[in-house]
């Protein structure tokens, strides 16, 4: 068999045996220093506020007429009063007496209508009234904020220091995984094959 092939197979066998004997376990290492890593990150936020706006709206209003209702008693009283006044006066005073009589007769007839229970009239109207409303306005604001994206941690394990980046602050101790495997030196290379002997001279 070729000596180079034998050497390669021996090295591979040593490597496989070392890998088979490798062991790993978890331990704790002392944290030496922790530094937060900051980055400027663009963010969006919504900003809202209230505005007072004046507007108009239509309102339907129903009113009850509590004044003197013009009923049949009112009309009849005004006629009777006017006729009576006309008979009292003469000349220019005749017109005055007629008007006064009509007014007095109308008032008397109106009282009669009220006492007889004449129904009050109702009026429905549409009014345009001013009102104040709170209107909410919003807008999107672009800004840049400083955010912590990680922590650079320096820790010490068995007298040696290492550095890693972690997503959180580990505190005073940091868990580490330790892998152990034997170190197997490669066998020395074989000596070169002997060459042909030089001829002997006599």
Q: What is the DSSP string of 169-198?
A: ---SEEEEEEEE----PPPPPPPPPP-PPP
Query: Residue 8: is its pLDDT beyond 50?
Result: no
Both tokens assigned to 46: 């919504």
Instruction: Give the three-class secondary structure for 66.
Output: coil
Q: Judging by DSSP bridges, how do beta strands 173-180 and 121-157 pair with one another?
A: unpaired
Predicted confidence (pLDDT) per residue in 20-59, tens digit: 556 889 999 999 999 999 999 888 889 898 888 887 777 7
What per-residue confidence (pLDDT) applies to 23?
86
- Smallest CA-to-CA distance from 36 within 138, 165, 187, 144 is with 165
Tokens found for residue 117: 């229970």
At 6 the pLDDT is 42
Contacts of 125 (CB under 8 A, 6+ apart): 60, 61, 62, 63
Instruction: Please indicate, yes or no, whether the overall pTM of this predicted structure exceeds 0.75.
Output: no
Highest mean pLDDT, choosing among 8-22, 26-40, 93-107, 179-193: 26-40
Place of tokens 């068995």: 158
- Give residue 4's pLDDT: 46
Q: Minimum mean pLDDT among 30-34, 105-109, 177-181: which range?
A: 105-109
Q: Over pLDDT 70: what percentage of the chain?
A: 55
Pick the closest to residue 134 from 20, 49, 8 (CA basis).
49
The pLDDT assigned to 100 comes to 56
The token duo for 75 is 């009309």
């Amino acid at each position: 068999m070729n000596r180079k092939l034998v050497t390669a197979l021996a090295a591979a066998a040593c490597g496989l045996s070392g890998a088979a004997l490798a062991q790993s376990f978890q331990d704790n290492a002392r944290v030496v220093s922790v530094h937060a890593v900051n980055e400027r990150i663009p963010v969006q936020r919504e900003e809202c506020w209230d505005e007072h706006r004046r507007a108009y709206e239509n309102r339907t209003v129903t009113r009850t007429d509590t004044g003197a209702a013009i009923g049949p008693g009112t009309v009849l009283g005004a006629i009777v009063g006017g006729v009576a006044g006309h008979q009292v006066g003469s000349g220019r005073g005749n017109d005055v007496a007629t008007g006064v009589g009509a007014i007095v007769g109308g008032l008397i007839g109106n009282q009669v209508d009220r006492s007889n229970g004449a129904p009050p009239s109702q009026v429905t109207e549409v009014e345009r009234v001013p009102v104040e409303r709170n209107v909410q306005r919003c807008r999107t604001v672009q800004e840049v904020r400083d955010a912590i994206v990680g922590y650079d941690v320096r820790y010490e394990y068995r007298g040696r220091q290492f550095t890693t980046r972690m997503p959180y602050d580990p505190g005073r101790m940091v868990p580490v995984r330790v892998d152990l495997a034997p170190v197997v030196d490669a066998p020395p290379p074989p000596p070169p094959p002997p060459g042909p002997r030089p001829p002997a001279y006599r």
